Every structure is written in C-alpha cells, then in structure tokens.
Structure 1
C-alpha cells in the first residue's frame, strides 16, 4: 500500500467525520457509545480513543484502525444522521470501506465486514439499506413519477441485486429475501408504468435478475408457490429476442428448483431443454456450458448414459472456450462442472470416478458464494462412498456436510443428506450411524 493510498484513506475518514459535524472528541464519544450499544464497552478513556482517531487521520503517517475499531466504525457509519441504516453505494458505510481499503485492509476482511452489517440490516428493518440515501430518494421520486427513471437508478438496482446474490451462503436466505423485496416490488411497479421506452430493456434485465434470485430464495425458504410465480415473472421479463441467453439463465435456475420441488423429471427436463435451445442461440458460452451440464444430470437421473455423456462433452467444449466478454455474470466454473461429472457417473457411470470428481469439485469451491454448492457436492461424495461400500468413511464426511448444510441453510443440501441417510439403512445398527443420527437430530431436529 503506497503512502498516497494511505493519505487518501485518512482524508476520507476525516471527511466522513466532518460531514457529520463531529470534532475528534465527538467521534471518540460516538465510538464509545456504539461499543456500549453493541455490548462491548471500552475500558479505556475517551481521551485515548480521541488520540487513536487522530492517528487514523494523520496527514503524514496514518494508521489502519484495528479490527475492533473497524467493527465499531462500521456500525457507527452504517447509520445515517437520521438513524436509518444505509449500506449501498454513496452511503457513509461504503465510503468507510473505501477508506479502510486505501489504508491497507484486505478485500476479504472488508467483505466480512459488509456481510456482518448485512446480517443485522433486517433486524433493524432497514430493507432499503442496499440503496444509498441519494438512490433511496431517487427511487421514491421515480416511483411517484416513472417518467423520471434514469440509467443511474437502474444501475443502482442492478448493484443491489448483485450484492444480495453475492451473499448467498453467508447470510440466511430469509434475510436475503427480505433485503431483495424492495427491489422486486419496485421492478413490478415500474414495469407496470410508463417508463422511458429506451430504458425498458435495461429495466427488464434487472427485473429478470431480481425475480430469478427471489424465486430461488423463495424455494430455499420452502415457499414453492411464490417461487413459481416469481420465475414466471422472470421468464416474462427476460423475453428479449436480442439476448436469448437471459431466457436460458432464468430457465436453468427454474429447472434446478423444479427438480427438487416437484416429483419426477419431466417438468425439470422441459425447462432444461428449452434453456439449451435458448443458450445455443445466445452469446454466452458460460450459460451454454451450464445448460448442457444440467441437461447431462437430468439424462443421467433418467438412466440415459449416452445422452448424459454427450451433454457433458458439449458442456466441457463450451467451458474450454474463451469467455472474455461473456455477457452473463454466472459464476459457473470448471469446479461446478466437475460436480456435474460426478453426479452423472453416480447414476450411469463409474462410482470411483464419481467420488473423485466430487472430491476435486469440493476442493475448488472455496468462495463464500460457493459454500452452498460445496455442501451439496460433499454430500454427493459421501453417497458415492456408501455405494462403494465404505459407509464408515461416508459417515465421517457427512458430519462435515451436516454442519455445512446447517450454516448455509441450503434446502438441496438437506435433501441430499436425507438421501444419504437412507442409503445407510443397511448399517443402521452400527455406532457410526447412531452418532450421525444424533448429529442430525441435534442440528435439524429430525
């Protein structure tokens, strides 16, 4: 971190303080009050805290606030002068994170701070917190007069959807659903209003993303009726002849939740086949790879080995292409595709190969956003061990999967766990299965 960067960070912290009309002593008192509100009272004097604040803002050798102070500053600046929580672009909180980054804090830790504050947002009722104060005001004006919709507001709404999506796996699904609700409802109202015609395609694009994510979150919270309605809205919003890959992306997400919320394979297969057609006509090789991968899984579950292997080959063909400039923001990666290789081999191939594919996939799915998928893949790996007649080792792995499924709240992971436990029935009198049952009861209550 260069000296110039640190001075920019220090200046930003000073600007934030002065914008609230605070002296150094006022800021010290605000930090102490915030610590008390959070149940973390200081045992040091206000004068000492004031000297620490001054060192952060030094014009010659500024220092990075410690982790404890970063947490307190985050809670302090997440609340605006009006007491409302605001975490979006243009908020004091966003400015604080920028300052900490200039002072040398890592992106990983800044992401953890952002996630921590997002977790508390729904507790305080700040459902519009992902939109900064200027954007909140603009949204209110535009909802009253849709003709005033502009590109800036659409971009802010897109960023809010991306923020919620980025915290899948690290924040409970119900909270994410609550944070997304204002964006979903704003999209509904604006699409039903006379917005500027030239902005309609971008608005529909954001709406499709919001509805799709909300449909997935409704599925995770076991509201299947709401999920189906949201996916219908997403499909309609994504109906852009110039970008058929958007339609494909919606249908792929819909197919996945349909696979686990409706009996049989037919409904999911129809969605996947339609997604493949759209993806082949579209510009996104990532979406094509994902569509062919899911097509392989559906075929494998139906016992169609040749069809499954062909679809997998097509998925790898797409995955290996140059994806620079790909219009889709999907995080689908080779690690995800190896998981589909595993599931295909689990049903219609070599069990040892399936196990190894699952292991390689799980080892690579390390990002916070990938925790849900990692729990699913690891549970599938345990199922492969059971079918390879290694139930004790499978049970050991399932203990880790239970903890992961509990932490993420993933519905599919829980379904996979129940399937794995059924596969262990021949060993139900063994101590290692009894221990697993105790763990399941402790975590899930059943």
Structure 2
C-alpha cells in the first residue's frame, strides 16, 4: 500500500481544498496545538517548512505529534462540525498517512484519539457519517420510502466503527455513538422501506442491536440489555442467515452467564450450536462449540467439555474460504476457552500455559477486553498452582484494562480472582492490589 508520492499528493490536495496555503496550514496546526492545550509549536515559518516537506517530491512522514494535529484539523469541516466517516477529509488524511508508510496500528490509534475527543464534546452518530449522508439520512427518517443504499451502508459503517473501538474507548462512550443508529434502524424498518433495502437494513439492525445489548450489559443496565437481545433475535429470525442468529444467541449467552447464571446461559449456547450447524460459517460454529465447552466445564462436565472443544478445533482448522464471518474468532481465542476448561475440570498448569499462549495472540486494541479476561483467568491458575504473589502481579494490568474500558466482565473476573486471594489478605502485595482496585474501580 505504501506509495509516498500518492500520499504527498493527497496531503497537498486536502490542504488546497480547504483554501489553505502552506503558511495557512502551519497557522492552523499552531492554533490546534493551542486548542488541545499542547506545548506550543515552533515559529510558523518552521512549521511551514515541515508542511512543505510532507508534500515534496521526496516526502517525509509527519511525526506523531503533527499526525495528531493534522487529524484534528481535518476532522473538523470548514463549518466546524466533526466528520470522521468514509469520504471525509479525515478519512483521506488517514489514507495519506498509510501511503506515506505509517503503520495500521498507529492509524487506528489516531482514529481512536480523535473519536474519543469527539465524544468528549458531544459528538455522536453524525461524527461517524460523511456530510454527504446527513441529508439523505434525515430525509429517510422523515419518509423511509425515500431511503437508499447509501443510507443503509452509512448506518452499517457506524455499527462497524463502534464495534472496532470496543476495548479502545470506554463502553459508555460507545453507547452514546451507537444508540442513535439503533433508533434510526428501528424507525426505518417500521416504515414503507423499499424492498431491496429490507434485508441489508435488517442485517444492520441485528449487528447494531446485538452490540447495543452487550454495551447495555457492560454499563450495568440488564433490563435494557435483555430487551435489545430479544429485539436482535427477532430481527435475525427474519433473515435466512443462521450464523447471524447464532451470533446473537452467543453474545446473549455470555452476558446471561454473568447476570443470571450458568443454566440459562447453557440454554442459549445450545440454541446457538443448533443454529450454527445449519449456517455457512465455520468460525461461528467454532465459537459456539467453544462456549458450549466452557459452560460444560463450569458445570463440572469434563467429558462434554472436551467433546465440544474437539468440535471447536475441527471448525477452526477447517477451510474458511468464503466464510461470511471471518473475523471475531481465532485459534488464539479458542486457546483461552481451552484454558477455562482446564481450570475447572482439568490441570491448572495446563490451563496456565493455555492462557499465557492465548494472551500473547490477543494484542490488537479491539482485543484488550478479551486479553484482560484471559490474563485474569491466568492469574487464577497461578493461585491454584500455589503462586499467589505472582498472580497478584499479573492482575494489575487487568485492573488498568477494566478501568479504561469500563468493561463489566473483566471487573467480575477480577472480583473472583481477588476472592481467591483471601487467605493472603494480610500480605502487603494483596493490600497493593486492593488499593489499585479501589482507585481504579471503586471496589
């Protein structure tokens, strides 16, 4: 993807589209640094020379500070609104940075930082839509018969964008971004929508309501969570895509495990397995069997747990060409489930090795919550292996992750791990962990 000439040309085009000279962009960057309360930039003439280097025949990649300032400049329309969706100047800037050689991870960081700033200042769904879509969405909400494919695609992109930020932004901020999409989809589906758009919009509804159900659970609103999952299940049942129905059941089962208990969660997982078996996604089937294995292990059913794990590995290692759900589950995730099964019905030492291996593969920002869960379970294994002090050391980064994301499941897992450290409660290192838990989570 690296093409420095194309990246430099894009930067120049963006600047000229804004009616900015080299010195004009330099002044805009200087003003943005002040707005963000960052240390002052060098003199305008010096910043101008940097701008010229980024657009030259042998362009330089802006350093990280300038990348963030550029991102904030181009995230705002000339009218002062925040616009981060596809087709915006902000999206073009990120593409230009990629062409100039910046890494995908750093570009994702920039996007998260700017999106976080947008939610700080009340930005919502409109921030994630291209300005050209705003009018179409408003028109569609007034009269669903006027909806078009661009509007549906834009709503789908917002759901995908919010989902991508799980683990990077606090759950409550993600709720702020997602709630208007769910309401917009409800209103459109209730109206006289053009027939070709019904199935695509229903797919958006299923994905959005499922994610909203999880976010409601994470922010401790169990009644709203149940209602959203019920709605997602109903919409999924109207699609001839069993793997989508299975995904709803699995997400619902996970939150049910922590809010209601194992018995009801097992019912949902068994339903997910039955549905996934008639679907086209091996990854979804693998995840369904992995969840089935975990719940069997938690209930003390070793034989059932190992049988389900075997089926999960069979599906993970199968041919995934054309899989409609190629992301969201992997061998790394499955090793975490293996570890949980070993923890409850097997060998704690084997469980520890599985957790350790799984945690090393869960490195993406989107996987921060899952990594915290797996690492907390790894600490539980260490306690059962007679090494509580090192377990406590392992829990500190998990506390930080649970605090930064506002995730409820990591917090519940931490509470379980802390309860197993009770025999050592008078030790200084347990007191240090308690202080960290209190400071970060208030518990």
Normalising by structure 1, report the TM-score: 0.95
Secondary structure (helix, strand or coil) at the match of 2:237 reads coil
Match of residue 35, structure 2, among 34, 37, 40:
37
Counterpart for residue 48 of structure 2: 50
> Using a 3 Å threshold, how does the CA distance of structure 1 residues 22 and 287 change in structure 2: closer, same or farther?
same
CA contact (8 A) 1:362 1:378 kept: yes
- Decide which of 199, 202, 205 is 1:204's aligned counterpart: 202
Give the C-alpha shift of residue 9 in structure 1: 1.6
Partner of 1:418 in structure 2? 415
Shift of 1:241: 5.2
Segment drifting more, 173-182 vs 99-108: 99-108
Deviation at 1:441, TM superposition (A): 2.0
Q: Which residue is 1:445 aligned to?
A: 442
User: How far apart, CA to CA, are the structure 2 residues paired with 1:394 and 1:91?
Assistant: 47
Residue deviations 1:118-168 (CA, integer Å, cap 9, x gap): 111112222121111112222112212212222222222222211111111
User: Partners of 1:395 and 1:349 in 2: how far apart?
Assistant: 22
Q: CA deviation at 1:316?
A: 0.8
Q: How does 1:354-365 map to 2 (within 5 A)?
A: 354-365=351-362
Residue aligned with 1:238, SS: helix
Q: Is 1:293 aligned with 2:293?
A: no
Report the alpha carbon displacement of residue 409 of structure 1 after superposing the two structures with TM: 2.3
Question: Cα–Cα, structure 1 residues 434 and 55, in superposed 2: closer, same or farther, change >3 Å?
Answer: closer
Question: Secondary structure of 2:40's match?
Answer: coil
Residue 132 (structure 1) aligns with: 130
Aligned 8 A contact 1:240 1:247 in 2: no
* Deviation by residue 1:154-210 (Cα, 9 ceiling, x = unmatched): 222222211111111111111111111221111111111111112111110011001
| CA distance 1:28–1:432, shift in 2 (3 Å) | closer
Match of 2:243 in 1: 245
The aligned counterpart of 2:95 is 98
**Structure-to-structure mapping, 1:112-123, within 5 angstroms:** 112-123=109-120
Equivalent runs, 1:356-395 vs 2, <5 Å: 356-395=353-392
Q: Determine the C-alpha separation between the residues in 2 that align with 1:241 and 1:38.
A: 46
Task: State the alpha-carbon separation in 2 of the partners of residues 148 and 179 from structure 1.
Answer: 24
**For structure 1, which segment, 431-440 or 89-98, has the greater mean C-alpha deviation from structure 2 after superposition?**
431-440
Distance in 2 separating the partners of 1:394 and 1:44: 47
CA RMSD of aligned residues (A): 1.6
CA distance in 2, matches of 1:439, 1:21: 50
Aligned to 1:351: 348
Report the TM-score, using the length of structure 2 for normalisation: 0.96
**Residue 43 to residue 209, structure 1, CA distance change in 2 (3 Å):** closer
Contact 2:199 2:239 (C-alpha < 8 Å) held by counterparts: no
User: What's 1:176 paired with?
Assistant: 174
In the other structure, the counterpart of 1:431 is 428
Deviations 1:59-102, CA, capped at 9 Å, x for gaps = x2222222221111111110101111010001110011111222
Structure 2 CA distance, aligned partners of 1:441 and 1:356?
A: 30
- CA 1:67–1:430: 2 relative to 1, 3 Å: closer
Query: What does residue 232 of structure 2 align with?
Result: 234
Query: Superposed, which structure 2 residues align to 1:266-305 within 5 Å?
Result: 266-305=263-302
Query: 1:292 Cα shift?
Result: 0.6
The match for 1:89 is 86
| 1:273 CA displacement | 0.9
Per the alignment, in what secondary structure is the counterpart of residue 308 of structure 2? Answer: helix
Q: 1:241/1:188 Cα in 2 relative to 1: closer, same or farther (>3 Å)?
A: closer
Instruction: Find runs of 4+ consecutive structure 1 residues off by over 4 angstroms.
Output: none
The structural deviation recorded for 1:353 is 1.4
Q: Which among 400, 403, 424 is matched to residue 400 of structure 2?
A: 403
Partner of 2:323: 326
Whether the 8 Å CA contact 1:64–1:104 is kept in 2: the answer is: yes
- Deviation for aligned residue 1:230: 1.0
Residue 12 of structure 2 corresponds to 14
Query: 2: CA distance between counterparts of 1:140 and 1:435?
Result: 53
Aligned equivalent of 2:159? 161
Q: Distance in 1 between matches of 2:418 and 2:116?
A: 32
| Residues 346, 190 of structure 1: alpha-carbon distance in 2 compared, 3 angstrom cutoff | same
Alpha-carbon distance between aligned partners in 2 of 1:329 and 1:153, rounded to the nearest angstrom: 25
Match of 1:142 in 2: 140
* Distance in 2 of aligned mates of 1:309 and 1:89: 45
What is the alpha-carbon distance in structure 1 between the residues aligned to residue 39 and residue 419 of structure 2?
50
Q: Closer, same or farther in 2 for the Cα pair 1:43/1:96, shift >3 Å?
A: closer
Aligned residues: 442
Distance in structure 1 (CA, Å) of the matches to 2:312 and 2:318: 10
Structure 2 residue matching 1:44: 3-state secondary structure = coil
Consecutive unaligned residues in structure 1, runs of 5 or more: none
